[in-house]
Structure 1
């Protein structure tokens, strides 16, 4: 390992303790590394603006940071156990290439604000991806809601047949859900979009750092003003990001549950694209819905990440090393969650419904609620109408198309208001 940034003469480093403290930090920092390089370039610009670096020194640092980023992308520079973490790797590379000029890069900053700025930049990128995926899912659901709006589908409560529903209603539910999820991702991104660079270890430094410049250079929406709050906010904004992710993955879990049921022989309502199923290792007859089952399971990883970060935050003000463990939690949560969501749009585009099976599952009892409401509309007190409609003798069959057309309350099958959902989605995209 290269010399530790904090190592002092006469202090012996116990390798077992160092391994425990560093853990898998240098491996995890591969996720952050390009963002850390970008933030280092902005910090160097800020140092040049206040006279700590010369114009030539800044140019040299920027050049070497660009080369380092290219080498990292190409795999010719690898973050490994030669380094304590990604931050020290950047400094070591600059010192190796530039000598004393490289040693100036850490002036006015701490690894604390380095990790904060890299985390916020990384989360902005992931939240933008989350918003985009949710918008794409909503768009697919709206297209299919329009195309299949009148196709009857049994509606269930308590997993029991309840009322006649439609594919239009099923798709519209997921469309609105993912519009909401995209809105939450957008709003969370705006909240995370604050620049902590220049807060150092949480108490500022005795230099007139140009924090407004680094805010603009890194594309942040605003400056995180209070240096101490920059540290207090760590964990808090990661939680907010995971909660935005969990909102979408929770909907994914429930959607996957529907498809798990609907693809079973007992329902037989839908066929998945063949690439979304796998075979059994022993039973030649099987095609298993493994993909949607793993989509359903992905929420567990997101929830685990949230719990891990939340439990780290029983801390007083100031920086504490406990917070190091938040990195693995957010990487795992977003890796698993976005991985599952990324497969969803094509799945929804290509699944095939089986209208005959859906229609065959409609039994006469499912029109009882329609009958009760019709009787109430004719003037009967609803409880009297309810008791009358509960009599199986009144269940003489029904017309699913008429049932759906008559369901005219806003948002029901007869008045889906897909145009309203399209407008909300368009506003998000714009």
Structure 2
């Protein structure tokens, strides 16, 4: 088949080259965005006097016919035409004859593909923001439902201090709120027009790029044609946002995997989101959460892949940039699936309050015993040593802090009085964390109400 660029060449293209260089097998997902920007480009060409009104109307009509075929799944993408852009242009020429070729006046595939990607990403980012919103709202609801549930917190995967379980769910809500901000910032950088930059140096036709930007709904116009066609920093912003969000989803998944095990028993996962074993009848495997945890590595890999592609490229466009799409498409698809999976798991999550309360007591109360002594005038380091010695003794005897009596405590310091015994209740201890951002009931209720307002609940 005749190539758009073959006038320069004296040999036919090797079949291997056609197969090796084609991108239509994956960039065809940009087809509707390519038509969207082509429709705007035609109007810009007409405004510049390059196309007559009749020509513009004919080309737009043909573009809409192609769009209809694509939407219905009736359009045949051909690999020998290299990419989505040439497939659509070829369809126009077949429909209109030579007039169809006028659609490419004043543009290059270099600025065309960046425009397609930016249009595509604006829609995809909005979809991800919707999924993040749903996940955050579910975490707020869980926080409301578990305000009165006490749980152990962990550092180094060792029990640390008692918290209200709502505080834990709000912690992840904060993480996903930051992820939301990252995607919003990425959207801002994506939301700029590249079309009209040409291949590298701009366009020698009087095209009104600001008119084109208005037609396509872009907030701004990229100011430098070389940067517009040769840079993919905006894709890195998106891939980085995907990777960080994937990390947070992975950490949440890891917690719930551990907490749903028999060893912890803090939560129960919904049967409909778990699988069994082909050999062990008793198994209930958290496969959705494990895959979310595993797919985080994919999101990291896609970011590193594009960073590596870009690191040695001379300014401006190079064919290496064709390698930007597959990692981008994969990360967006992967993250959307992970966000949906996490939301479904949280919707069906059952909390086992008795297990959590039992685990929240014991040695997690030690810091407050030390702080009690500080309140009696003991330097914190000395108080830390006293309570540490108490804990060591109890461990040797196979006892817990919740087993101790006032006499036991006074063996280590005569400053312990009857009022210290109230510190053996994990909810009392949790409620002593009154600083802003702490886990006391008052502070957590404040954060729940703030989160509800922010989420429109």
Q: Give the TM-score category using the shorter length.
A: over 0.9
* Secondary structure, counterpart of 2:378 in structure 1: coil
Q: Which residue of 1 aligns with 2:17?
A: 17
* Secondary structure, counterpart of 1:288 in structure 2: coil
How many residues are treated as equivalent by the alignment?
Answer: 426
* Secondary structure, counterpart of 2:35 in structure 1: helix
TM-score (norm 2): 0.89
Equivalent residues in 2 for 1:194-343, closer than 5 Å: 194-233=192-231, 235-313=232-310, 314-343=312-341
- Structure 1, unmatched stretches of 5+, are none
1:260–1:230: structure 2 CA closer, same or farther, 3 Å change rule?
same
Aligned-partner Cα distance in 2 for 1:422–1:61: 55
CA drift at 1:82: 4.8
Q: Is the 8 A contact 2:115 2:194 kept in 1?
A: yes
C-alpha RMSD over aligned residues: 1.9
Aligned-partner Cα distance in 2 for 1:284–1:67: 56
Q: Is the 8 A contact 1:198 1:204 kept in 2?
A: yes
* Secondary structure, counterpart of 2:198 in structure 1: coil
* Secondary structure, counterpart of 1:104 in structure 2: helix
Q: Deviations over 1:1-41 (max 9, x none)?
A: x422211263321111222222xx11111221111111111
Equivalent residues in 2 for 1:52-201, closer than 5 Å: 52-201=50-199
Q: Is the 8 A contact 1:37 1:69 kept in 2?
A: yes
CA drift at 1:56: 1.7
Aligned-partner Cα distance in 2 for 1:238–1:261: 34
Aligned-partner Cα distance in 1 for 2:62–2:454: 41
Aligned-partner Cα distance in 2 for 1:427–1:100: 55
Per mean C-alpha deviation after superposition, the further-off stretch among 5-14 and 135-144 is 5-14
Q: Is the 8 A contact 2:302 2:327 kept in 1?
A: yes
Q: Is the 8 A contact 1:151 1:355 kept in 2?
A: yes
Aligned-partner Cα distance in 1 for 2:18–2:108: 19
Aligned-partner Cα distance in 1 for 2:201–2:454: 40
Q: Which residue of 1 aligns with 2:421?
A: none
After the TM superposition, which parts of structure 1 deviate over 4 Å for at least 4 consecutive aligned residues? 417-430
* Secondary structure, counterpart of 1:165 in structure 2: strand
* Secondary structure, counterpart of 1:153 in structure 2: strand
Q: Is the 8 A contact 1:250 1:299 kept in 2?
A: yes
CA drift at 1:353: 0.6
CA drift at 1:70: 1.9
* Secondary structure, counterpart of 1:154 in structure 2: strand
